[in-house]
Amino acid sequence: MSKEEKEESGQTAIVTGSSSGIGLETSLALARNGFYTYATMRNPAKGKALVDRAEKEKLPLQVAELDVDRDESVKNTIGGIARERKRIDVVVNNAGFALVGALEETSMDEIKAQFETNLFGALRVMKAVIPVMRRQASGTIVNITSMGGKVAIPLDPIYHGTKFALEGITESVRYELQPFGGKCDTCRARRGKDELLWQPKACT
């Protein structure tokens, strides 16, 4: 489908953790390709740079508040988008952060927070959008993982745990969506300059 056809059909995309890095650039890329894009983040005030770039290019993009750690936030934002746009075609679960440290030095509160955002946050969003995709008999979910979901290194055990789990869940859900035309896959981001890895919670 061409950019023009996407715009005419109301093709809609949602990206979580869009305040910087992968989420920001993914939001812009989807909008450039004709998707009306909701770039979501916990604090919309952090989306000014993204909005400025989108306005400069006259892209179909808006910033929306969404905290993947909170059930009500996910329910309200996803529900509002579905009512407004009548469909959700692409969802990119990008919100996350890296917790670096040895297991014995990591508190249970830190471990729970890592799983809350990186894993349970993605699951909240998936559970909210799948019924919409089922009704329209189409839709694609992309879960941002990393090579940390396939290969583990020292001092990242909790981060690896969240990404290994998300890889497995994604593979299973892929088969659940196939009967009605839905798709679910991962994108393994590489380590780089993304603030995701250097500023905890920066991309949520």
Provide the annotated active-site residues: 159
Short-list 22, 184, 40, CA closest to 97? 22
Q: Computed from CA positions of residues 161, 122, 21, 113, in that sequence, does the dihedral angle turn out positive or negative? A: negative
Q: Which residues contact 154 (CB under 8 A, 6 or more apart)?
A: 102
Helix 21-32 crosses helix 48-56 at what angle (to 10 degrees)?
A: 20
CB 116 within 8 A of CB 69: yes
CB 138 within 8 A of CB 196: no
CA distance linking residue 31 with residue 37, whole number of Å: 6
